[in-house]
Amino acid sequence: MTRLFSAEAQRWAVRTVCLGLLLLLGGCRGCPKSQPPIHLNPNMDSQPKYRAQAESAFFADGATMRTPVEGTVARGAMPMADPLHTGRQGDGFVVGIPLPVDAAVLTRGQQRYGIYCLPCHGDQANGRGMLYQRSQIQSADLHDPRIVAMPSGEIFDTMTNGLGLMPAYDYSIPVADRWAIIAYIRTLQGADGESLSVPNVVPNDGSPTGPDGGELTTDGEVAAPGSDGGNEGVSG
């Protein structure tokens, strides 16, 4: 029988196959390594990044995660269920303005009304602002006896959640400013501004609170909440 290949050629073939098998085996992940395996086409498979709990040589405390800025309140962790933040008390609405109202608050309310409400409700609050002048779409006339008689908490609720065409202002207008706007609207409706404040708010836990978690004392003053954090204070 004649040989197709010489003995020499056969030996080389066996060696080549063995070498190939060895190389293949070398690719198997037998032992874990800190370096990633050779990756001929990495695309963007591995990118440098910090893991939350990892160490960092960059920050002085050696931790990758930063602690929140002092005074930070996590979304949803604010005491949002109390009358000051909802305008609701028990089964009904807060009747008066649960914050002290003075000239500075009314000025603030007028300014905020001019920014947020006037384009639709008009400077006289008759519902005929620029929206009406341009498109004949009338917003509610705030002199409507129904709205004049409406508890302030219900107006607060409308502002917070919106109604029909009217957008919600819970994110764009801070709580104290919403009450200040209502105080200003009450003066447009003919009320005597200074007599508006009715600190009748008693939250569920029985301890009256003001904005920023400050105590609401019986005479309607908001006591300091311990720090001056928060941006909901009314300033003139």
**Residue 89 binds ligand HEC (CB under 6 A):** no
Contact 116, 138 (CB under 8 A): no
- Find the distance separating the first CA and the last CA of the chain, reported in whole Å: 110
Q: Least distance from C-beta 105 to ligand HEC, angstroms?
A: 15
**Residue 84 binds ligand HEC (CB under 6 A):** no
Q: Which of residues 145-164 bind ligand HEC (CB under 6 A)?
A: 147, 155, 158-159, 163-164
Q: Please tell me the distance from the alpha carbon of residue 166 to that of residue 220, in angstroms, as a whole number.
A: 31
Question: Considering only residues 116, 128, 183, 188, which one is a binding residue for ligand HEC as defined by CB under 6 A?
Answer: 116
**Residue 180 binds ligand HEC (CB under 6 A):** no
**Residue 165 binds ligand HEC (CB under 6 A):** yes
Question: Considering only residues 119, 193, 225, 229, which one is a binding residue for ligand HEC as defined by CB under 6 A?
Answer: 119
Which residue's CB is nearer to ligand HEC, number 64 or number 161?
Answer: 161
Question: Considering only residues 94, 97, 105, 120, which one is a binding residue for ligand HEC as defined by CB under 6 A?
Answer: 120
Stretch that binds ligand HEC, among 1-9, 35-43, 63-71, 114-122 (CB under 6 A): 114-122
H or E stretch at 83: helix 83-86
For 175-192, give one letter per residue: b (16+ CB within 10 A) or e.
bbbbbbbbbbbbbbeeee
Q: How far is CA 86 from CA 35, 158, 203, in A?
A: 56, 10, 11
Count of residues engaged in binding ligand HEC, rule: CB under 6 A: 20
Contact 108, 205 (CB under 8 A): no
Binding flags for ligand HEC, 181-200, as an x/- string (CB under 6 A): x-------------------
DSSP state, 139?
Answer: P
Contact 195, 168 (CB under 8 A): no
Q: Which of residues 28-47 bind ligand HEC (CB under 6 A)?
A: none
